[in-house]
Amino acid sequence: MPGIVLIGAQWGDEGKGKATDLIGTKVDYVARFNGGNNAGHSVVVGNESYALHLLPSGIINPHLTPVIGNGVVVDPEVLFQEIDGLEARGIDCSHLKVSEAAHIIAPYHRTLDKVTERFLGKHKIGTTGRGIGPAYADKINRVGIRVHDLFNAKHLHDKVEASLHQKNQMLVKLYNRRPIDVDQTTDELLKLGERLKPYVANTGLILNKALDEGKTVLFEGAQATMLDVDHGTYPFVTSSNPTAGGACTGTGVGPTKITRVIGVSKAYATRVGEGPFPTELFDESGEWLRQQGHEFGVTTGRPRRCGWFDAVVNRYASQVNGLTDIVLTKLDVLTGLKEIPICVAYDVDGERHDDMPTDQAAFAAAKPIYETMPGWDEDISDCHTFEELPATCQDYVKRLEELSNCRISAIGTGPQRDHIISVHSLID
C-alpha cells in the first residue's frame, strides 16, 4: 500500500517534475492534489523536454494512471490545450482521471486575479495571473463551481449567477470594468463540460481502492512549503496547501495510507514573485546562479530570485511535512564556486533564531547567519554514485543533510532523467 507524497521544500521550482518522473517509472498512479496551472513542472527525456502545468508530470510514463484530485483548481481550457499539446507529441492522455469535486477556474477568476493584483499596487503578491487565488477564494466562500456542476445546465446557471452577483458589483463599482454575463459564461462552461466528461471520475474511490490492492500511488505536489497558505510566508503565498497534509485533503485519501514523504530541494534557493527571502543575492553571485541554473519561470518566464541554501527553511520543511527523504537537485549548478555559503540560522534584531520565526515581520527582518564550505571545480554530471563526487562536494551534501534534519536519498546532477545519484531507494 505505498502512498508516497512528493512536495517542494522551498519556494517552488525545486525540480519536482524531474523527481516525479524518476519515481514515476515504478508507480501505478500519480495524483496532483493542490494548485492548478500556476505550476510549471519540467521533465526532460532524451532530446524531448516537457513543461507540465495542470497535468501530473507522471503522464509522461505510459503505464501509469494520471489523476487530478479534488484539491486542484482546474481551468478546462488550459487542460485541453495541454492534452492536445501532449497528444500531438505522441503522449496518450485518454486514461486521465479528473475528480468530480475539483473546483473550476472560470474566465472571471483570471480577470479578477489580474485586476486585484493591479489594485493592490505596491502590496501585490506577484501571482501567476492564472486565476488561482480567486478560484480558491470562491471555494472557501462557498460560491465555487465544481466539475460535476458542469453537467447540469439549470444548476450551473444558478451557481454562476450566485458567484457573479457580488463580483459584478465589484468589477463595475470598484474596478471600473464591464459586468460579466451570466448566460454567456454558463454556455461557455457547459461546452467545456462536454469535453471534460469522459475524464471525470470518483478519484477518491479509485485511489483508495488502488492503495488497498497494494498498488503504489505518488502524490505530486505543486508549489512548495514556503508558499503554503497556512505554513508559508503569508500573505506572499499561493492559495492552497502544497505541504504534505494537502495530499490527503486534496485527494480524499486518509493519512494512515501515506508511507513516505519526499521533499524536493535545490542545492541553493530561488523564489518567484514578491515576499521575503532572507538569503536572496542582489550582487553578481545571484546573477551567476540565475545564469548557471537557467532560473527563469516555466509558467511565466519571469527571472527567478536566487540565493544561497537556507537550512532554516529546510529544517522547517522537514518538520511541517514530516519528511522521510530529500531529493537534492541542481548540485551541478554550484560547480566552479570557490566557496559556498550556507545559511544555518537567522539574526533577527540581534537575536539568533535556529528555527523559523512564526511572526512574518521577524521573518522579513531575518538576516542570514552563514557558514562557508569549500567548493569544487570538477564536472559532476557523469557521477553516478555518491563516492564518485569530489570530496568537497560530498562534504557539502553531508552538511546540508545534517542541517536539514532529514536524509538525502537522491542527488540531481543535471536536468536529464539519468542525471541522478541514488543514495537510498525512494520506493520500497
Catalytic residue among 28, 41, 138, 266: 41
Stretch touching ligand GDP by CB under 6 A, among 83-91, 142-150, 271-279, 412-420: 412-420
Chain centroid to CA 101: 20
**CB 169, CB 108: distance < 8 Å:** no
For 352-367, the DSSP string reads EESS--SSHHHHHH-E
> Binding residue per annotation — 17?
yes
**Cβ-closest position to ligand IMO:** 273
**Cβ-closest position to ligand GDP:** 412
Sheet of 217-220, strand order: 200-201, 97-99, 65-68, 29-32, 217-220, 3-8, 260-266, 325-329, 408-412, 420-422
Residue 384 designated active-site: no
> Binding residue per annotation — 412?
yes
Q: Which residue has the cell 467545456?
A: 192
What whole-number distance in Å separates Cα of residue 327 and Cα of residue 426? 9
**CB-based burial label for 370 (10 Å; 0-12, 13-18, 19+):** middle
Stretch touching Mg ion by CB under 5 A, among 99-107, 296-304, 346-354, 409-417: 296-304
**Residue of 3, 40, 134, 193 that binds Mg ion (CB under 5 A):** 40
Residues 6-45 interacting with ligand GDP (rule: CB under 6 A):
8, 12-18, 40-42, 44
Task: List the alpha helices (DSSP H) in 103-243.
Answer: 107-120, 132-141, 153-173, 182-196, 203-212
CA separation, residue 406 to residues 63, 70, 245, 308, 314 (Å): 31, 30, 18, 19, 9
Minimum distance, C-beta of residue 278 to ligand IMO, in the bound complex (Å): 16
Q: Which among ligand GDP, ligand IMO, Mg ion, none contacts residue 421 (Cβ within 5 to 8 A by kind)?
A: none
Which three three-digit cell numbers place residue 91?
A: 503522449
Secondary structure (3-state) at 214: coil
Residue 418 designated active-site: no
> Binding residue per annotation — 40?
yes
Residue 103 designated active-site: no
Catalytic residue among 97, 139, 167, 419: 139
Stretch touching ligand GDP by CB under 6 A, among 111-119, 345-353, 386-394, 410-418: 410-418
What whole-number distance in Å separates Cα of residue 79 and Cα of residue 110? 15
> Binding residue per annotation — 26?
no
Secondary structure (3-state) at 42: strand
> Binding residue per annotation — 42?
yes
Stretch touching ligand GDP by CB under 6 A, among 92-100, 195-203, 324-332, 394-402: 324-332
Name the DSSP letter for residue 378.
Answer: S
- The site for ligand IMO (CB under 6 A) is made up of 8, 12-13, 38-41, 125-128, 130, 132-133, 222-224, 227, 238-239, 272-273
CA separation, residue 317 to residues 9, 106, 311, 325 (Å): 5, 33, 10, 11
Minimum distance, C-beta of residue 37 to ligand GDP, in the bound complex (Å): 12
What whole-number distance in Å separates Cα of residue 148 and Cα of residue 193? 8
**Residue of 116, 216, 329, 409 that binds ligand GDP (CB under 6 A):** 329
> Binding residue per annotation — 391?
no
Strand partners, 371: 342
**Residue of 332, 346, 397, 404 that binds ligand GDP (CB under 6 A):** 332
Q: Which among Mg ion, ligand IMO, ligand GDP, none contacts residue 329 (Cβ within 5 to 8 A by kind)?
A: ligand GDP
Q: Interface mask (CB under 6 A) for ligand GDP, residues 353-392, using x and -?
A: ----------------------------------------
Minimum distance, C-beta of residue 222 to Mg ion, in the bound complex (Å): 8
Q: Helix, strand, coil: what percent of the chain each, to 5?
A: 40, 20, 40
Q: Of 262, 267, 271, 352, which is closest to residue 311 (Cα–Cα)? A: 267
- Residues with a catalytic annotation lie at 13, 41, 139
The binding site consists of 12-18, 38-42, 128, 142, 223, 238, 298-304, 330-332, 412-414
Q: Which residues bind Mg ion (CB under 5 A)?
A: 13, 40, 298
| Interaction site with ligand GDP (CB under 6 A) | 8, 12-18, 40-42, 44, 298, 329-330, 332-333, 412-415, 419
Residue numbering of the annotated binding site for substrate: 298-304
